[in-house]
Amino acid sequence: MKFSPTRMITSVSSNLMSETQDFQYAAGSCNIGPKEIRRRKFVGFVGLVLVLITIASFHSQHVKGLSRVSVFLPAMLFSIGYLQSRKKFCLAFGLAGIFNFGSLGQVSKVISPADKALDRKAALNLIVQSLGLSTLITVIVLVLPV
């Protein structure tokens, strides 16, 4: 097969178009696009790093007992960022009735009251899931040996 820059550009542009077409507002399930998802992944990564630093400090300082519950806050940061990026759904946007698939900060309002209700329900569900994951991480840290 012969190299063709035109064929290559056409292939790349069609791949990019299909990636952006995967991101459309869907009430209760998708309210953020690729740039917002990247931001949530970063938040999740920062939370994970903080969890690991907290666990390492517990180990180096021989922290025992309920003091280890303090890992809950960085675990919550990790959980919220991770789950939002996986679900393509921002809980703050869901509660506020907005969505964004363009540049960062370029939000649009959800018009339909039914869609707003679905978004609020999904946002509350995401909060519950984040609390559950953070609690699981905290319990694991509590039972880890010093």
pTM: 0.80
Domain boundaries, the chain: 32-143
Distances (CA, A) of 92 to 60, 65, 81: 36, 34, 12
pLDDT band for 21, please (50, 70, 90 cuts): low
Owner of token pair 């953020």: 32
Alpha helices, H only, 62-112:
72-87, 91-96
What is the Cα–Cα distance from 65 to 63, expressed in whole angstroms?
Answer: 7
The tokens for 104 are: 């960062």
pLDDT band for 78, please (50, 70, 90 cuts): very high
Identify which of 30, 57, 45, 42 has the alpha carbon closest to the alpha carbon of residue 118: 30
pLDDT confidence of residue 17:
39
pLDDT confidence of residue 2:
54
Contact 100, 32 (CB under 8 A): yes
Q: State the average pLDDT for the chain.
A: 87
pLDDT band for 145, please (50, 70, 90 cuts): confident
